[in-house]
Amino acid sequence: MSQSPLYIGFDLSTQQLKGLVVNSDLKVVYIAKFDFDADSTGFPIKKGVLTNEAEHEVFAPVALWLQAMDTVLESLRKQGLDFSRVKGISGAGQQHGSVYWGDQAESLLKNLDSSKSLQDQLPAALSHPYSPNWQDSSTQKECDEFDAILGSQENLAQATGSKAHHRFTGPQILRFTRKHPEVYKKTARISLVSSFIASLFLGHIAPFDISDVCGMNLWNIKKGAYDDQILKLCSGKFEVDGLKQKLGSVPEDGGLHLGSVHSYYIQRYGFSPDCTVIPATGDNPATILALPLRPSDAMVSLGTSTTFLMSTPSYMPDPATHFFNHPTTAGLYMFMLCYKNGGLAREYVRDAINESLKDTPAQPWANFDKIALESSPLGQKSSSDLMKMGLFFPRPEIVPNLPSGQWRFTYNAETGDLQETTTGWTAPNDEARAIVESQFLSLRLRSRGLTTSPGNGLPAQPRRVYLVGGGSKNQAIAKIAGEILGGVEGVYKLDIGDNACALGAAYKAVWGMERQPGQTFENLIGQRWQEEQFIEKIADGYQKGVFEQYGKAVEGFEKMEDHVIQQVLAKGLQTI
């Protein structure tokens, strides 16, 4: 059997842990998955998390992840993986989640005993058994303080890449100092989910990753350092130096060799002592590493949430969006939009359509897709008809910051007249196309400043649109995505669809271990990338006429959102 090297990427997401193994040619050779709800024992979780609704808290038991890690490694072994061939390990962690370690952590990590499981040994290393989850929205007060600390939301976004968000780790830590002051005092170190993965394999606490640290509202991206004023706020009534020690330093190189794998893994699974741990990053930064993404390409992850990702040399922060350091390439940034209402919101419409037809097709999306494709863009029979558009948020939304609700409008693109009305709407059928349009119009509205003309007099748009995640299987969604976002070369889906972030993490390990001095991630992965095997074109992108008509709709869409925001504020309703 060939002894060529292998690399593992772990994806520690909200609902599952995956371990994906690739070879130096970037081909996937093993995948193991541990579904938290289905496969764990002893945790009263739902969709991977626990909730305290009274305080809008969402959190996950860290011991669950320890159980998952040993089980995934065991499952890879059962599949036949020869761990001695694994030369590098990296990972992708759900963003913003934090792990609180006690003062025994370093010693317990260092002395891991291979005859016992991680779950038997490491809960004692934690000062707090839970990790706040990205769906948590308990930190409104703290977010207000973060938004004010540099004078405005705009200034905070300029410094840290984002305005304050409930889920971001800085506001979460500040709340922790207030809710659990005694535990905070006893906390020796704080990890992100990404650096937690690396810590498990290193046997000591790993530093934050240069990209994932930008999901905390604490890191000044331009200065390449923590922002002292914000750290002071975040430390609450405690010493700022204490917080600095808990956070630790942040190395710039995303391919850094953090150290060799701990003997626990050598003895228990047969890893080689020279297997090296490379910094794990956030799940979204890892997703853009699943292919040699060019700055003119866009990626849309259609999972439970929808995220829109671009790699760009421009740093243009705005309170409505996120900028992060690129996980591998200095001088590039990652642009991101993150929506809570993605797959779930589409599923509501899908189910309403199936119910109205009294049909439960074997392929549950069949009716939704047929109706979406038969409906004309924006519900217009001719270009002078009123455009139909709406917002469909079964859950409170992040972009824009609105409570749950549904709003339907008509828009006259000639006069700019916008009317809130359900007249002319046939529910649920008109909603199939309208919900997909609504989601993609929002993406186009917020990403238009980052796209440029591909030449030949064509309007600004991405070169390609790549779809990943569960929804990327859907041809109807792909077609509408191309009509709205454009993409001169078309809309593509990654062969590995649902496993993009684990794949990106594995590629990060390949790059970290096999790069030549100075060789960029894009260069190394680009050289080994086999386009015809790894991606598939699933829809056309730019279509003259339709793209321009949707351009007019974007203006109406922006007006519609403003209208709804004003309406919500006037009613004194709380945004999330």
Ligand X SMILES: Nc1ncnc2c1ncn2[C@@H]1O[C@H](COP(=O)(O)OP(=O)(O)O)[C@@H](O)[C@H]1O
Ligand Y SMILES: O=C(CO)[C@@H](O)[C@H](O)COP(=O)(O)O
Q: Which residues bind ligand Y (CB under 6 A)?
A: 13-14, 94-96, 134, 167, 283-284, 303-305, 307, 338
Task: Choose from ligand X, ligand Y, none: what does 473 bind? Cβ within 5-8 Å by kind.
Answer: ligand X
Least distance CB 521 / ligand X (angstroms): 23
C-alpha–C-alpha distance, residues 160 and 248, integer Å: 17
Report the candidate in 476, 454, 531 with the shortest Cα–Cα distance to residue 366: 476
What backbone phi and psi angles, to 5 degrees, belong to 45? Answer: -90, 160
Report the candidate in 49, 51, 52, 72 with the shortest Cα–Cα distance to residue 60: 49
Task: Choose from ligand Y, ligand X, none: what does 474 bind? Cβ within 5-8 Å by kind.
Answer: ligand X
Q: How many CB atoms lie within 10 A of CB 199?
A: 26
Q: Is residue 36 near ligand X by the rule CB under 6 A?
A: no
Range 456-482 burial, b when 16+ CB lie within 10 A, else e: eeeeebbbbbbbbbebbbbebbbbbbb
Secondary structure E strands in 13-114: 16-23, 28-35, 50-52, 57-61, 86-93, 98-101
Interacting positions 283-322 with ligand X (CB under 6 A):
303-304
Task: Choose from ligand Y, ligand X, none: what does 283 bind? Cβ within 5-8 Å by kind.
Answer: ligand Y
Least distance CB 359 / ligand X (angstroms): 16
Least distance CB 483 / ligand X (angstroms): 17
Q: Is residue 347 near ligand X by the rule CB under 6 A?
A: yes
Torsion of CA 331, 337, 343, 346, to 10 degrees: -140
| Number of residues located near ligand X, criterion CB under 6 A | 14
Among 469, 482, 504, 556, binds ligand X (CB under 6 A): 469
Among 343, 394, 400, 403, binds ligand X (CB under 6 A): 343
Amino acid at 372: A
Least distance CB 130 / ligand X (angstroms): 20
Among 473, 528, 552, 559, binds ligand X (CB under 6 A): 473
Residue with tokens 């705009």: 154
Task: Choose from ligand X, ligand Y, none: what does 96 bind? Cβ within 5-8 Å by kind.
Answer: ligand Y
Least distance CB 556 / ligand Y (angstroms): 28
Q: Is residue 474 near ligand X by the rule CB under 6 A?
A: yes
Least distance CB 281 / ligand X (angstroms): 16
Query: If DSSP codes are grouped into helix, strand and coil, which group holds residue 373?
Result: helix
Task: Choose from ligand X, ligand Y, none: what does 284 bind? Cβ within 5-8 Å by kind.
Answer: ligand Y
C-alpha–C-alpha distance, residues 566 and 467, integer Å: 33
Kindly tell me which of 24 and 404 has the beta carbon lying closer to ligand Y. 404
Q: Is residue 15 near ligand X by the rule CB under 6 A?
A: yes
Kindly tell me which of 123 and 343 has the beta carbon lying closer to ligand Y. 343
Task: Choose from ligand X, ligand Y, none: what does 347 bind? Cβ within 5-8 Å by kind.
Answer: ligand X
Task: Choose from ligand X, ligand Y, none: what does 167 bind? Cβ within 5-8 Å by kind.
Answer: ligand Y
Kindly tell me which of 13 and 90 has the beta carbon lying closer to ligand X. 13
Least distance CB 441 / ligand Y (angstroms): 21
From the list 234-242, 250-258, 340-348, 532-540, the region that binds ligand X by CB under 6 A is: 340-348
Kindly tell me which of 134 and 365 has the beta carbon lying closer to ligand Y. 134
DSSP assignment, residue 216?
A: S
In sequence order, what are the beta bridge partners of 99?
Answer: 191
Kindly tell me which of 310 and 338 has the beta carbon lying closer to ligand Y. 338
C-alpha–C-alpha distance, residues 269 and 263, integer Å: 10
For residue 264, give Cα distances in angstroms to 113, 116, 256, 429, 557: 6, 9, 22, 56, 55
Interacting positions 552-571 with ligand X (CB under 6 A):
none
Q: How many CB atoms lie within 10 A of CB 196?
A: 24
Q: Is residue 470 near ligand X by the rule CB under 6 A?
A: yes
Kindly tell me which of 45 and 488 has the beta carbon lying closer to ligand Y. 45
Secondary structure E strands in 269-365: 276-277, 281-282, 298-302, 306-312, 322-325, 333-339
Kindly tell me which of 318 and 347 has the beta carbon lying closer to ligand X. 347
For residue 276, give Cα distances in angstroms to 32, 198, 264, 273: 20, 10, 14, 8
Query: If DSSP codes are grouped into helix, strand and coil, which group holds residue 12?
Result: strand
Residues that bind ligand X (CB under 6 A): 13, 15, 303-304, 343-344, 347, 365, 469-471, 473-474, 498
